[in-house]
Amino acid sequence: MYVYAKKFIITLTKEERKELESIVSKGKHKSQKYQNALILLNCDEGEYQKQKHTNEVVSSVLNIGMRKIDRVKKRFVEDGLDMALNGKEYERTYEKKIDGDMEAHIIALSCSDPSQGHSQCSLRLLADKVVELEYIDSISYESIKRVLKKRT
């Protein structure tokens, strides 16, 4: 059973309520944004709210979990309306290990004869060979698979 702690109290201004109501009435938004707008509107405890609802009622009507409601309310209180509606942008970026030159080496290795004792060159053997020849520090066999699949 979920124990609700009343930590985050939502009090919307008139402008914020107008913006949320326009999101809910138009229906041309992502489902999560729409749902978050409904959560904020129904959990509002400000002076412009006509009828106050508990989290349990909002949870059962919207068919969502209590934790989702608490996360949206927390985001609104700590980060503001825009962040509560849209969520956070992911900042993690990955460097590409494999460029065109590396792809050419991998394809050349895959076309060459397999090493002694093997009838075929497996993806794992190719990955090990690429590291052994010091083309790259480390690489997974899945990355090798993507390169070969892209070029077949």
pLDDT digits (tens, 9 = 90+) for 71-100: 999 999 988 888 888 887 777 777 778 888
Residue 63: its pLDDT value, please? 92
Longest dimension (CA), the chain: 79
Q: How confident is the model at residue 112 (pLDDT cuts 50, 70, 90)?
A: confident
Structural domain boundaries of the chain? 14-86, 100-150
Tokens of 101: 């030159």
Record the tokens describing residue 1, joined without a space: 């059973």
Contact status, residue 46 vs residue 12, Cβ threshold 8 Å: yes
When pLDDT is averaged across residues 35-45 and rounded to a whole number, the result is: 90
Q: What's the pTM?
A: 0.58
Distance set, CA 68 to CA 72, 84, 96, 143 (Å): 6, 11, 35, 36
Mean pLDDT to the nearest integer, 26-41: 86
Q: How many CB atoms lie within 10 A of CB 109?
A: 18
Task: Please report the pLDDT score of residue 50 as a whole number.
Answer: 80
**Nearest partner of 62 among 36, 26, 86, judged by Cα:** 36
